[in-house]
Amino acid sequence: MVMEKEKMMEEERGIVVAVDESEESMYALSWCLRNLLSQNTKGSTTTLVLLYVKPPLPVYSSLDATGYLFAGDVLASMEKYTNNLVNSVMKRAEAVYRDFNTNIKVEKKVGSGDAKDVICIAVERLGVDMLVMGSHDYGFFKRALLGSVSDHCAKHVKCPLVVVKRPKYV
C-alpha cells in the first residue's frame, strides 16, 4: 500500500469515496455530492478523498496459475494497463464532481492490494469522518466466493460507512 499517514485537520470534515471501474462507484460518488456535500456553502471545510485500489501485481511469483513464466514485457504491460485504469477511473470521477458547484477540496489517493483491506487501512490512517462506497449487486455465489467489500468495511472501519445502492433504472 502506498499511502502516507496523514491526519485531517480537526476543523475539516473528511469523506473517503472508494472509486473503481464500476457504475456503482460513480453513482455512489454522485450520491455523496448530492446528499452530503451539496448543502455546503462558502467556508466549507470538507475534503473529499477519492480512493482507488489497484490489484497487486504478481511480483512475488512470475509464474501464473497455468505455470507459464511472465516475461518482463508482460509485467510491464500489465502495470501500464492498471495505470491506465487508474487514470480512466479518476477522469470519470472528475467528470462527476465537476458537475456539482461545491467548493470542496478533492484529493486523489491510489492504493494497491486487496481492496477491502486497503480501504480500511486508508480510512483509519486518514482519520476521515465517513466512508462512502457503492454496492455491487452480486448474486449469492459470486458474493460467497469474493466476499463483500462493504460487509468487510462495515465490520472494520471505525467511522460511519455509507453503502450506496445504484437504482436499477439509472
Given the rule CB under 8 A, which residues bind a copy of itself?
A: 31, 35-36, 39-40, 129-130, 135, 148, 150-151, 154-155, 157-165, 167
CB-wise, 37 or 110, nearer to a copy of itself? 37
Helix axes 115-126, 149-156, angle to 10 degrees: 30
Tell the smallest beta-carbon distance from residue 131 to a copy of itself (Å): 10
CB-wise, 110 or 133, nearer to a copy of itself? 133
Q: Of 8, 16, 11, 13, give the one whose Cα is nearest residue 39.
A: 13
Tell the smallest beta-carbon distance from residue 139 to a copy of itself (Å): 11
CB-wise, 93 or 164, nearer to a copy of itself? 164
Residues 6+ apart with CB under 8 A from 70: 58, 62, 63, 64
The one-letter amino acid code at 1 reads M
